Amino acid sequence: MLDPNAIRERIAGALPGSEVDVRDTTGTGDHFEARVVSPAFAGKSMVEQHQLVYAPLQDWLKTGELHALALKTYSPEQWKKFGNR
């Protein structure tokens, strides 16, 4: 069972200067959603942005400890444009 904070710390550690929110969507510690706003995403496609977030979580994804992580990713510029929907 994973803690949202543990996930948040890994993402923030891999993407310095990011704003990261993680929520347990089912209360079972294996399904989460995350919103990440990071300067590292500028100029990257959404697939590339998601891959940057998944990278520090690979071991948890492989073992199935982390079963699902729904992502919303934004560069700071995209966040200004689309963040308040």
Q: For residues 3-32, which are near another protein according to CB under 8 A?
A: none
- Edge-first strand listing for the sheet containing 31-37: 19-24, 31-37, 68-74
User: At 29, is the secondary structure helix, strand, or coil?
Assistant: coil
User: Is there binding between residue 50 and another protein (CB under 8 A)?
Assistant: yes
Answer for which of 45, 63, 64, 84 binds another protein (CB under 8 A) is 45
Specify the pairing of strand 19-24 against strand 31-37.
antiparallel
| Cα gap 27→46, rounded to integer Å | 27
Q: How many residues bind another protein (CB under 8 A)?
A: 13
The one segment of 7-15, 16-24, 44-52 that binds another protein by CB under 8 A: 44-52
* Interface residues toward another protein, by CB under 8 A: 43, 45-47, 50-51, 70-72, 78, 81-82, 85
